[in-house]
A = this chain, B = another copy of it.
């Protein structure tokens, strides 16, 4: 190899890389582009962080996060060894790829949904099978089942992003891959009208074949903290644990996350407010001529019959209202639209003003 050549793996050299939503550093933006929670975390979290900051940061964290696992397990009615804490649920997804998927093997995910899965698969050298969702964003269970044979991971956001709809348990049970693992990415799971209590984890079809991923970024208002977790049969967790870095979660995040789960009422009250604002957002968008998918998440997917989503995105941005313009072009028909996070009522009013200012 010549000294001028860079010794990257070919998979990495050709990778475009995942582009997260913009994070403007200055204030003054109405930020409705990355599904953050507009409300602050529980005061208990802030107190736990201050206490941990005074503590023994010169020592390594608990490598297994035992106390966090206990609290997280209780919330779902599973033993602590069902829980794998990670540096955001993104890290859990990375660990899943590295634990279950060899180069050349196949993963699948519904399309359109969270395209990060594709980036992670490409890094791993895996083959990606996009399962097209129907026009109303539902899962074509009978068509898909055949295609899922032999896939190592099937990754399904539930509720889905960018659409916000939730897939029924019966559909999910029907698509557990024979030779792989169904990953239900529940980043938005706390925003649904009737949250589950972990029933699917114990369904016969899913035993040792399903991993839930969860995060404190959205419903617990802790995107800045990076704490997510996987929930799975301990036999699966044991393998994933071998792949994770020894100290993948730091002392502060573990303390804060434990405090956050310990104050579920705070989270429930915030998600209640967000669900109420979600309805206002939907109504206001429909009034302004948009089509909106019924959402069980903290965002909505809005399209306009005139198709001018990119133009609206830019005009909103000029008014310092940031939403997410998304294009899914990998399948026919190409879909694009605006994914809009449910902020506070005031933020949504600012969005409406801005839309009215550009003649919707």
Contact = CB atoms under 8 A, between A and B. Distances in A.
Interface of A: 1, 3-4, 6-13, 15-18, 20, 23, 25, 31, 34, 36-41, 45-46, 49-50, 52-63, 87-88, 90-91, 94, 98-103, 116, 123, 125, 152, 178-181, 207-209, 217, 221-226, 235-236, 239, 241-243, 245-253
Contact of A6 (B4, B208, B225, B251): B208
A208 B7 CA distance: 9
Contact of A9 (B100, B116, B217): B100
A250 B236 contact: no
Nearest to A177: B7
Task: Give the one of A56, A91, A243 with max B CB within 10 A.
Answer: A243
B61 A53 contact: no
**For chain A, what secondary structure do more than half of its interface residues adopt (helix, strand, loop), or is it mixed?**
loop
Contact of A179 (B1, B46, B253): B1
A245 B54 contact: no
Given A57-B224, A57-B225, A223-B247, 11 more contacts: A1-B178, A6-B239, A11-B102, A20-B246, A49-B49, A50-B53, A59-B224, A87-B226, A90-B245, A103-B125, A225-B251
A65 to B, nearest CB: 12
Contact of A223 (B40, B59, B90, B217): B59
A247 B251 CA distance: 18
Contact of A58 (B3, B15, B41, B53): B41
A6 to B, nearest CB: 6
A59 B218 CA distance: 9
Contacts of A235: 6
A154 to B, nearest CB: 11
A250 B221 contact: no
A236 B6 contact: yes
A132 B235 CA distance: 37
A252 B224 contact: yes
A37 B58 CA distance: 6
Contacts of A23: 59-60, 62-63
Contacts of A1: 178-179
A88 B52 CA distance: 18
A13 to B, nearest CB: 7
Contacts of A246: 18, 20, 90, 116
A148 to B, nearest CB: 13
Contact of A3 (B91, B100, B209): B209
Given A1-B178, A250-B226, A245 B57 contact: no
Contacts of A25: 62
28 contacts: A3-B208, A6-B208, A7-B180, A7-B181, A10-B102, A13-B239, A15-B243, A17-B241, A20-B60, A23-B59, A34-B60, A36-B60, A41-B57, A49-B50, A50-B53, A53-B53, A57-B224, A58-B221, A58-B224, A60-B223, A61-B223, A61-B224, A91-B245, A91-B248, A223-B247, A225-B252, A226-B247, A252-B252
A235 B12 CA distance: 13
